[in-house]
Chain A
Amino acid sequence: AQTVTQSQPEMSVQEAETVTLSCTYDTSENNYYLFWYKQPPSRQMILVIRQEAYKQQNATENRFSVNFQKAAKSFSLKISDSQLGDTAMYFCAFRGYGQNFVFGPGTRLSVLP
């Protein structure tokens, strides 16, 4: 069974600074998808970024980018120019052939003014 680990339960960053959230996963599959979701205090889960495992190029979405290391089974999220609105829980998720999503335990990020 796949597992997803996020080793940082809580993190904080100063506004305008850069922060990196870690995620590792365990799978024997070769083709899969990885996601980062954000859950602000409103509780609505929002997709931040996605990565297909067959793509070597790291995904980027504006201030958000990932460092995908397939061999190391690592998928970290970098947030540049952090904003107060980035304060949220961040979940790393894996989706393989079995169609289920497997989520990590989450990292609570606080952006400080």
Chain B
Amino acid sequence: DVKVTQSSRYLVKRTGEKVFLECVQDMDHENMFWYRQDPGLGLRLIYFSYDVKMKEKGDIPEGYSVSREKKERFSLILESASTNQTSMYLCASSLSGDEAFFGQGTRLTVV
């Protein structure tokens, strides 16, 4: 069965902390994505990666960075968490031209 796993379901962090969100997929997909989901705005792309060590900025990359050292793992990093980064974060993976498979989401609260 296809699986995308995010490391945490709920996370509470303090302003200014460095935050790591981890995502692992077991489907050998080349494409991986990080989205942010906010009410009324749908899913907005933060970063995506189409291969190991390759990354491209999405629509809202400011304040975020990513790392993809291995094909199965795609990490989202909040360099210095701020309250406006409180949100739901969704990781996804896919093959080219195919559907996206999603993790269960991480609800991050920055206080």
Contact = CB atoms under 8 A, between A and B. Distances in A.
Interface stretch (A11-19, A41-49, A65-73, A75-83): A41-49
A-side interface mostly: strand
Interface of A: 4, 9, 33, 35, 37, 42-45, 47, 50, 91, 93, 95, 99-106
A25 to B, nearest CB: 13
A35 B99 contact: yes
A9 B40 contact: yes
B97 A33 contact: yes
Given A35-B99, A101-B33, A91 B104 contact: no
Residues of B in contact with A, size category: 20 to 34
Interface of B: 31, 33, 35, 40-45, 48, 50, 58, 88, 90, 92, 94, 96-97, 99-100, 102, 104-105
Contacts of B41: 105
B99 A91 contact: no
Given A100-B45, A100-B58, A101-B33, A43 B88 contact: yes
A22 B25 CA distance: 32
A43 B105 contact: yes
